[in-house]
Structure 1
Amino acid sequence: MTALTWLYVPGDRPEIVTKALAAGADVVVIDLEDAVAPDRKRYAREATAERLTDPQPTPVHVRVNAVDSPLATADLAALASLPGVCGLRLPKVTSPAQITHVAAATARPQGGSPPLYALLESALGIERAYDIATAHPTLRGIALGEADLRADLALRDDTGLDWPRSRIVVAARAAALPPPPQSVHPDTRDLDGLQASCVRGRALGFLGRAAIHPRQLPVIERAYLPTEEEIEQAETVLKAAETEQGAQALPNGTFIDAAVVAQAHRALALAHRAR
């Protein structure tokens, strides 16, 4: 099933992790990095390792500490081989070499490695987006870390993020990776703002979004699922494509060619996710 919601939860709060696993997110991301104070890092790692000794009812990813730090080395050693780890999210990635290093360090004895997801949070990471996205077969996705990127670029508002956002959407597609999810909307009570931001993100080519509170999940899902009108249009396109070959126009003026048919298939595949 295509994931649309990624719920972050602090790794040093096992009781919150338990609630998150039942909150309805497609993926729960246990965070060992920004959400955990320095003096709680070891406890967060140990509590997460204990939790993920067994598979969980919801797929769980772990965001480890910054990839070049000793904390990340300890995180990866403790977690990479556990049955409950469905993915590792790597913050502060700036080079392909970091991905290949982590892939080698997390190779499981039975073969393979846990899927890796790179978070690009700096100007250098954005400049190298495609090289990072193609660094290793174990890398399954890229995404932005927008809070750090805003600070790195000294941005005053979201306008400055338009180009980096488009950059990683294009890089992911060029690397044959899934469309990236949007970064978190930090105001957990601003659901109207979240909705508007998701509409903008969908228009830019993102698919789904990270969340930091369960109340954000239904807003994100609604924003990213096709509307009834979009579903009806996609069904009309595919029905017409079955009966006619080559380019054509529908009665409403919509022009149909192979690209439009492909978009219709994607829309219906996503719609069927919710049925």
Structure 2
Amino acid sequence: MSGVNGDLTTRSADSAAYRPRRSVLYMPAANERALEKARSIPADALILDLEDAVAPDAKDAARERAGAKVADGVYGSREVTIRVNALDTRWHADDLRAAAQAGPDAVVVPKVGSARDVHAVEKGLEAAGAPDHTRIWAMVETPVAMLHIEEIARSSQRLAVFVMGTNDLANELHAEHVPGRAPLLTGLGLCLLAARAAGIAILDGVFNNIRDLDGFEAECVQGRQLGFDGKTLIHPGQVEPCNRVFAPTEAQVEESRNILAAWEEALASGRGVATVNGRMIENLHVRNAQRILAVSEAITTLERETSSPAPPG
């Protein structure tokens, strides 16, 4: 069964409207063929990757290619981000400067461990002339980040999304990758609490075995049940099940409409309570119904706008 999570807005200076982030696909920026293929992949958002997927001797070319794709607008209405190299690498400053000048929807920053890290990225973006719409997506993937997650979540108005780095977190914990992810649940829970408290979105980490679609879908369901807005992906074959799991079902949409109709009728007649299918309806149910309908509408709009590949820039 599918479901839906997430706030209707991300915390920002301009109160940016909710954007679907059910499926967020990493694409290696060094691979022109992959970047071209991404135009026809129905992921909600893309991460043009300058980090793990790019060899050291290809970093400069990948940086230029990612910036050009963003500037050309070849991916249409979907959210397009650039993952830079980590703050302590020799490529970070050049990556950040180039990304700021290209003006993507966001810059994805690995290994964020403190509010100071976010402030450094924010300062670098502003110094390089990044537009206001370029947000920060912080990858939280270390024990240090888990222990400082609330201060990170509240560190900047540019910060819009947490991205869980579950591979690195498991490695640093000396934990095993097991079904159900019990070794990671403490960290995942802390990050979810901080994201919801600060009003920012949060994405689940990647699933490594691209051939295990049953295991992947089970992890998507778990992520949705925990409260994630969507999931980061490493293969186009993961997009369809991810989109399905993280979207409202037709039954949820219909029930939400019935809740709002019953609530409006109750208010019009001077009653402070309503019932739907024998269930008492309160304000929290109304807010959840409004959220589900807004998410469903945003998904429909995005899918309509991206149903045809964008023309070349």
TM-score range, shorter chain: over 0.9
Check 1:248–1:14 CA distance in 2 against 1; reply closer, same or farther (3 A cut): same
DSSP-derived class of the 1:106 partner: helix
- In the alignment, is the contact (CA less than 8 A) between 1:99 and 1:136 conserved in 2? yes
* CA apart distance, 1:17: 0.7
Kindly tell me the number of residue pairs found equivalent between the two proteins: 272
* CA apart distance, 1:153: 0.8
- In the alignment, is the contact (CA less than 8 A) between 1:103 and 1:113 conserved in 2? no
Identify the residue that residue 271 of structure 1 maps to in structure 2: 296
2:43 aligned with 1:43:
no
Identify the residue that residue 162 of structure 1 maps to in structure 2: 185
DSSP-derived class of the 2:224 partner: helix
* CA apart distance, 1:26: 1.6
* CA apart distance, 1:116: 0.6
Query: Aligned partners of 1:53, 1:269: CA distance in 2, in Å?
Result: 29
- In the alignment, is the contact (CA less than 8 A) between 2:141 and 2:169 conserved in 1? yes
Mean Cα displacement is larger for which, 197-206 or 45-54?
A: 45-54
Query: Aligned partners of 2:98, 2:252: CA distance in 1, in Å?
Result: 45
* CA apart distance, 1:66: 1.1
* Structure 1 counterpart of 2:272, one-letter code: G
- In the alignment, is the contact (CA less than 8 A) between 2:20 and 2:299 conserved in 1? no
* CA apart distance, 1:69: 1.9
Identify the residue that residue 65 of structure 1 maps to in structure 2: 85
Deviations 1:176-202 (A, max 9, x none): 112x12111112222221211111111
Query: Aligned partners of 2:245, 2:131: CA distance in 1, in Å?
Result: 38
Query: Aligned partners of 2:71, 2:252: CA distance in 1, in Å?
Result: 42
Identify the residue that residue 101 of structure 1 maps to in structure 2: 120
- In the alignment, is the contact (CA less than 8 A) between 2:68 and 2:102 conserved in 1? no
Deviations 1:6-45 (A, max 9, x none): 1101111011111012212121111111111223222322
* 1:1-275 alignment, distance < 5 Å: 1-58=19-76, 59-83=79-103, 85-107=104-126, 108-109=128-129, 112=132, 114-156=134-176, 157=178, 158-178=181-201, 180-244=202-266, 245-252=271-278, 254-275=279-300
Query: Aligned partners of 1:138, 1:56: CA distance in 2, in Å?
Result: 24
* CA apart distance, 1:274: 4.0
DSSP-derived class of the 2:75 partner: coil
DSSP-derived class of the 2:101 partner: coil
Query: Aligned partners of 1:188, 1:40: CA distance in 2, in Å?
Result: 25
Check 1:203–1:110 CA distance in 2 against 1; reply closer, same or farther (3 A cut): closer
TM-score between both structures, scaled by the size of structure 2: 0.82
* CA apart distance, 1:136: 1.0
* Structure 2 counterpart of 1:80, one-letter code: A
TM-score between both structures, scaled by the size of structure 1: 0.92
Give identity over the alignment, percent: 31
Check 1:90–1:274 CA distance in 2 against 1; reply closer, same or farther (3 A cut): closer
Structure 1: which 5+ residue stretches go unaligned? Answer: none
* CA apart distance, 1:165: 1.3
DSSP-derived class of the 2:203 partner: coil
* CA apart distance, 1:168: 1.2
Deviations 1:152-188 (A, max 9, x none): 111123111112112111111111112x121111122
- In the alignment, is the contact (CA less than 8 A) between 1:54 and 1:82 conserved in 2? no
Query: Aligned partners of 1:110, 1:57: CA distance in 2, in Å?
Result: 20
Query: Aligned partners of 2:214, 2:24: CA distance in 1, in Å?
Result: 19
Query: Aligned partners of 1:221, 1:255: CA distance in 2, in Å?
Result: 31
Query: Aligned partners of 2:71, 2:41: CA distance in 1, in Å?
Result: 21
* CA apart distance, 1:111: 5.8
Structure 2: which 5+ residue stretches go unaligned? Answer: 1-18, 301-313
Check 1:170–1:247 CA distance in 2 against 1; reply closer, same or farther (3 A cut): farther
* CA apart distance, 1:248: 4.1
* CA apart distance, 1:250: 3.1
Deviations 1:196-224 (A, max 9, x none): 11111111000111111111111011101
* Structure 2 counterpart of 1:41, one-letter code: K
DSSP-derived class of the 1:70 partner: coil
Query: Aligned partners of 2:244, 2:190: CA distance in 1, in Å?
Result: 25
Check 1:109–1:90 CA distance in 2 against 1; reply closer, same or farther (3 A cut): closer
DSSP-derived class of the 1:74 partner: helix
